[in-house]
């Protein structure tokens, strides 16, 4: 672990203010769409555990996203998987992960993970030189396993609370901390400052973003179909799975510790 300087401490405090401000503004903006707070103790407990105060609005956005997925994204993802050979899809995925490495490296550093930061930097160097600019994951053959970090995870490591659950149009399930993290990722991404005004840059950025979305969707076609068939409430299931996935990422795959009751002799 590395110790972060006072500048990072200032960034933490400033980011905390930003996140709290975003949460307050979001709450004010959607106050009319809030679900009523139940008075029954059991119902109130479930309401608090869900942490989804704007559930009526979130469900409408979820329905919109589902309709767009059925009409556009899912057919495109199926066509992508049907027409692009598996080895080519793997190379594309390797490249997409590769160009996200600088962002992961910065978040590794901000989280004080010196070992993971060094591993990310080494992976980037090896795969750029020997992996044909990241299309081949040569580094994995030397035990340098890929991982991803985003600024939302960094905020969690810094102790920022997750905030209420929110369903974003097109981007899907998030919490307020994750939303603020997306803004931070954009600001710290080196690609943001590489010819940001040029049409070539915008075209390339848009193409890689679209390709990443299609590739990600193509890998969970059957899983989502099974969820749709087996879930009594698909919205609630997706919300639960999202939270579990984010916790796993924040903890770098480590299990959540289970409190052990003290035995009084």
What distance in Å separates the CA atoms of residue 109 and residue 241, rounded to the nearest whole number?
28
Residue bearing the bigger pLDDT, 2 or 163: 163
* Cβ-proximal residues to 28 (8 Å cutoff; 6+ apart), any chain: none
Q: At 175, which helix (H) or strand (E)?
A: strand 172-175
Mean pLDDT of 222-245: 96
Cα(15)–Cα(152) distance, integer angstroms? 11
Q: Which of 12-26, 144-158, 166-180, 238-252 has the lowest mean pLDDT?
A: 12-26
Q: Residue 175: beta bridge partners?
A: 165
Note the pLDDT tens digit of each residue in 130-183.
999 999 999 999 999 999 999 999 999 999 999 999 999 999 999 999 999 999
Rounded to 5, what percent of the chain is helix, strand, coil? 70, 5, 30
For range 9-33, the mean pLDDT: 52
**CB-CB contact of 78 with 120 (8 Å):** no
| Whole-number Å distance between alpha carbons of 16 and 21 | 8
Higher confidence at residue 254 or residue 8? 254
Q: In sequence order, which residues have a C-beta less than 8 Å from that of residue 93 and are 6 or more positions away?
A: 215
Kindly report the backbone phi and psi dihedral angles of residue 208, in degrees, each rounded to the nearest multiple of 5, phi listed first.
Answer: -70, -35
Q: Does the pLDDT value for residue 228 go beyond 60?
A: yes
pLDDT at 203: 78
- Phi/psi of residue 256, nearest 5 degrees: -70, 125
What distance in Å separates the CA atoms of residue 10 and residue 202, rounded to the nearest whole number?
A: 32
pLDDT, tens digit, 9 for 90 and up, residues 185-211: 988 887 777 755 666 677 778 889 899
Residue 223 class from Cβ within 10 Å (0-12 exposed, 13-18 middle, 19+ buried)?
Answer: exposed
The whole-angstrom distance between residue 50's C-alpha and the CA centroid of its chain comes to: 19
User: Which whole number is the average pLDDT over 24-51?
Assistant: 66
User: Per mean pLDDT, which range of 39-48, 82-91, 97-106 is the poorest?
Assistant: 39-48
CA distance 125 to 142: 13
Structure tokens at 104: 């992961």
Give a three-class secondary structure readout of 162-203. CCCEEEECCCEEEEHHHHHHHHHHHHHCHHHHCCCCCHHHHH
Which pLDDT tens digit goes with each residue over 151-164?
Answer: 999 999 999 999 99
Of the pLDDT bands very low, low, confident and very high (cuts 50, 70, 90), residue 260 is low
Q: Taking 50 as the threshold, does the pLDDT of residue 265 lie above it?
A: no
Instruction: Give the rounded percent of residues in the chain with a pLDDT score beyond 70.
Output: 81
pLDDT, residue 193, reads: 74
Q: Which of 14-18, 224-228, 234-238 is least confident?
A: 14-18
State yes or no: pLDDT of 32 exceeds 70: no
Q: Residues 2-15: what's their mean pLDDT?
A: 50
């Amino acid at each position: 672990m590395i110790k972060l300087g006072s500048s990072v401490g200032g960034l933490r405090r400033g980011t905390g203010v930003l996140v709290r401000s975003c949460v307050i503004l979001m709450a004010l903006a959607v106050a009319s769409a809030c679900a009523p707070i139940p008075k029954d103790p059991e119902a109130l407990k479930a309401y608090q555990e869900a942490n989804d105060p704007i559930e009526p609005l979130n469900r409408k956005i979820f329905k919109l996203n589902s309709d767009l997925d059925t009409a556009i994204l899912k057919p495109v993802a199926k066509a992508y998987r049907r027409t692009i050979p598996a080895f080519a899809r793997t190379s594309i995925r390797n490249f997409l992960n590769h160009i996200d490495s600088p962002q992961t490296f910065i978040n590794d550093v901000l989280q004080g993970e010196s070992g993971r930061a060094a591993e990310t930097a080494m992976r980037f160097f090896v795969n750029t030189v020997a992996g044909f600019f990241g299309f081949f994951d040569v580094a994995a053959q030397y035990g340098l396993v890929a991982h991803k970090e985003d600024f939302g995870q960094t905020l969690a490591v810094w102790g920022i609370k997750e905030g209420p659950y929110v369903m974003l149009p097109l981007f899907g399930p998030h919490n307020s901390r994750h939303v603020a993290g997306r803004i931070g990722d954009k600001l710290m991404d080196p690609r943001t400052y590489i010819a940001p005004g040029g049409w070539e840059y915008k075209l390339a950025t848009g193409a890689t973003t679209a390709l990443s979305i299609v590739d990600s969707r193509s890998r969970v076609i059957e899983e989502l179909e099974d969820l749709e068939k087996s879930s009594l409430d698909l919205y609630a299931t997706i919300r639960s799975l999202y939270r579990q996935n984010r916790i796993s990422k924040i903890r770098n795959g480590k299990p959540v510790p289970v409190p052990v009751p003290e035995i009084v002799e």
